[in-house]
Structure 1
């Protein structure tokens, strides 16, 4: 199988780089300065083993590729960018007949749970991927991952439910590429569970890592609101304890020389000044479920608005003022 990584940032770049290193055919899809750097010098991948430059082919979009029935599309962009890309890629013809949306599998390697629904509007064969992959992308052409002995822990399964041979083959390729990868019929339970941690991404992005008692209390409350909304909706999910038990000591963070991992994906969006952030699909998912099922989620709603304001106005990551923090605390 050839892996076409749509969005070669922190997650997509590391997955694509690791697959390429283990002998798989990979194409990275990027844009702007990142694409230019990949084309000019390859992908610089830093892991605990060291830094190396990989000559992974890179393109700007589907018009530059001839698709075949053996291709796997792996969507690793933030959810706010997914809709247009899914529409564009699904319409492309595949050698031998049909379009990508009719023939090819698409794997949604994204935080949140909205990407799978968006993908199913355009593709018949959708696979969710729950991603536990501490990785960083702050400079064009460069990605890093600090996990050891495994680079990340990935669950893959058919959406909306089930597990098949394609999921098993993808996981086998990932297993041979320094990941722990599990094919499962419960991928969405894993993804809903992963949101237990991700609802705090907006808080980390605007205020920095949760170190003070006030930040820790806010983080706990964000998760409590989300769990109450999940319970009201009757949605099954893997608890934080279940997630930790399965990961065990497989992905231990290691210091990487010359690289400082300041925060997660939302923090990195603000740090790079992208102008957008995925808060609508993280804290925003708790808000949506709460509104659908009559559960108040005031703190998640406030963080969703605040994170979007930071991204829109170009405020620096971690620049929340004491007054703004106190206003959030008033919602506890």
Structure 2
């Protein structure tokens, strides 16, 4: 099958390499050094899914009309990337592989009449060198759309992708997006401190900040009428129970997440953007919690503080000291 992948960073590069290895005809979009590296030497994948060195077509925009499209850009780049490729992909099944809550809605708005789906990926991958991706944690990805049960087209696309990497079609995709948003709360603090996610989640004071941001996210979701979807052992009942616990008990959840990541240092997507000197997607992660809280007439002070701290690191180009982090988080 001809598959177009818009964005060839950590996840886009992972999907591109695995789909090409499975025999699909893959074209990716990339920019700058990433585009040059892929054109010169392909995509080199290592880690959890084994070794792969694949040659794929690479261009600033898709040059041929695919049969299936994966949008794997950062959330803040999605609108421009979809718009730039609209003529090549309009009307085709389009799968948005992205953090945050807005990816599928953005694609539907820009591509009217196009069947749009979302994928929630728990795969952890480091992309710190152009054209080179290392998968540090493997996991099943989850595909769906809307709030109803998984439909036949979702199951078809999930089965196709599963030839290369495990993908499961799920219902209540909107609720699962919120569950993934809770998981993504592990990104900000490691990025602010410049430390691996596992280190942050092993250390009590920083782990408690993560737990508080996660708990705040769940409470905002509840206020917005969300029924959290099942994702990696998390679901509506478990997350609501977590949100009701005091932080001293609730911090067990991020600690367990850190244990499951294994020993290979996981930088998290926000920190990887900072290391590459690129804008982060914090406004679509912690910032989404702040916006949803405002819509519910609530405040989200922990997440608001983390948004500001990540932007401070973006401006300074250097991580903060732990004492600065802890002093900035409201008690």
TM-score, structure 2 as length reference: 0.84
Partners of 1:82 and 1:183 lie apart in 2 by 23
| Contact 1:45–1:143 (Cα < 8 Å) also in 2 | yes
Counterpart of 2:141 in 1: which secondary structure? strand
Partners of 1:213 and 1:29 lie apart in 2 by 41
Instruction: Quote the residue 1:218 is aligned against.
Output: 209
Instruction: Quote the residue 1:144 is aligned against.
Output: 134
Deviations 1:153-194 (A, max 9, x none): 1111134655434322221122221x3211123222222101
Q: How does 1:174-185 map to 2 (within 5 A)?
A: 174-177=161-164, 179-185=165-171
Instruction: Quote the residue 1:97 is aligned against.
Output: none
Instruction: Quote the residue 1:67 is aligned against.
Output: 65
Instruction: Please state if 1:190 is matched with 2:176.
Output: yes
| Contact 1:228–1:295 (Cα < 8 Å) also in 2 | no
Counterpart of 1:166 in 2: which secondary structure? helix
CA separation of 1:159/1:86 partners in 2, compared to 1, >3 Å: closer, same or farther?
farther
CA separation of 1:302/1:138 partners in 2, compared to 1, >3 Å: closer, same or farther?
same
| Contact 2:146–2:172 (Cα < 8 Å) also in 1 | no
> 107, 114, 117: which is aligned to 1:119?
107
CA separation of 1:160/1:49 partners in 2, compared to 1, >3 Å: closer, same or farther?
closer
| Contact 1:133–1:153 (Cα < 8 Å) also in 2 | yes
Give unmatched runs, 5+ long, in structure 2: 239-259
| Contact 2:141–2:166 (Cα < 8 Å) also in 1 | yes
Q: How does 1:157-176 map to 2 (within 5 A)?
A: 157-159=144-146, 161=148, 163-176=150-163
| Contact 2:99–2:120 (Cα < 8 Å) also in 1 | yes
Q: How does 1:24-39 map to 2 (within 5 A)?
A: 24-39=24-39
Deviations 1:258-316 (A, max 9, x none): xx644111111111211x0010011011101111102221110011111122223322x
Instruction: Please state if 1:203 is matched with 2:189.
Output: yes
Instruction: Quote the residue 2:248 is aligned against.
Output: none
| Contact 2:145–2:174 (Cα < 8 Å) also in 1 | no
Partners of 1:273 and 1:128 lie apart in 2 by 27
| Contact 1:48–1:254 (Cα < 8 Å) also in 2 | no
CA separation of 1:241/1:111 partners in 2, compared to 1, >3 Å: closer, same or farther?
closer
Instruction: Quote the residue 1:248 is aligned against.
Output: none
CA separation of 1:163/1:2 partners in 2, compared to 1, >3 Å: closer, same or farther?
farther
Instruction: Please state if 1:327 is matched with 2:315.
Output: no
CA separation of 1:25/1:159 partners in 2, compared to 1, >3 Å: closer, same or farther?
farther
CA separation of 1:38/1:50 partners in 2, compared to 1, >3 Å: closer, same or farther?
same
CA separation of 1:27/1:181 partners in 2, compared to 1, >3 Å: closer, same or farther?
same
Aligned length: 303
Instruction: Please state if 1:288 is matched with 2:291.
Output: yes
Give unmatched runs, 5+ long, in structure 1: 94-99, 246-251
| Contact 1:43–1:56 (Cα < 8 Å) also in 2 | yes
CA separation of 1:125/1:39 partners in 2, compared to 1, >3 Å: closer, same or farther?
same
Q: Once superposed, what is the RMSD of the aligned Cα atoms? A: 2.4
> 103, 114, 125: which is aligned to 1:135?
125
